[in-house]
Amino acid sequence: MGSFDFVTIFFLVAAVVIFLQLRSVLGRRTGSERPPFDPYSKREGASETDSADRGKVVTLPRRDGTDEEENPFASIDAVAAPGTPLNEQLRTVAKADPSFNPKEFANGARMAYEMIVVAFADGDRKTLKNLLSREVYEGFDAAISERESKGEVVRSSFVGIEKADIVGAEVKDSEVNITLRIVSQLISATYDKAGALVDGDAETVAEVNDLWTFARDIRSRDPNWKLIATESEG
């Protein structure tokens, strides 16, 4: 039976979105909960005509396995030079989870990043709860509550993600952690309830540099990942 690779997503979002004070909740981590997105899962028996899945997943090209038969770490060597610490870290992950493909993971992480940013801006706690670890969610929820109490409004445009590169990986017992450096651009201006500008610039595109870490339990049948930590690089 054939198998296909899917990236699980919960919402399709527009290119222009509201973004609000993401940095105020950076730096928290955990990892015990079930993760929310699946950048490279294999699902058997999936039909392209299955309307229940349509709108929830993005189908990725199927791997033919040719390179992997000659070099089981070909997909890793393509993104991290053999002999480097990152290559060794990713090989450790692949040994623990043979389905791991770093390029497909990074593509899924890009989608997850934008979904989280959009959900935070919209105050969509339900979506965030599915995408974040418990402690990270608590930080986001507190920031949303603070802005609601102040009556602040953010007018913002998410311009896009320039790159999302894997910079670290580790296996802790049965948990795999993958860290990415994500560079994105956005326009953001915060106004108080009287309409006065209190932060940001409505005309300037700002570059955002973040380190985000995702994790999942490889013992679980659930192939999804959850955001367990965020850190700003300035």
Residue 66 confidence (pLDDT): 47
pLDDT tens readout for residues 118-135: 888 788 999 999 999 999
Residue 112 confidence (pLDDT): 93
Angle at 115 between CA 112 and CA 118, to 5 degrees: 150
pLDDT tens readout for residues 200-217: 888 899 999 999 999 999
Phi then psi dihedrals of residue 109, to 5 deg = -65, -35
Angle at 231 between CA 192 and CA 216, to 5 degrees: 120
pLDDT tens readout for residues 158-202: 889 999 999 999 999 999 999 999 999 988 888 899 999 998 888
Predicted TM-score (pTM) above 0.75:
no
User: Stretch 78-106: mean pLDDT, rounded?
Assistant: 95
Residue 131 confidence (pLDDT): 93
Cα(76)–Cα(181) distance, integer angstroms: 17
Q: Which domains does the chain have, with CATH numbers?
A: 27-44+72-232 (3.10.450.240)
In the chain, the largest separation of any two C-alpha atoms, in whole Å, equals: 65
Residue 36 confidence (pLDDT): 43
Strands (E), 134-195: 153-172, 175-191
pLDDT tens readout for residues 10-23: 333 333 333 333 43
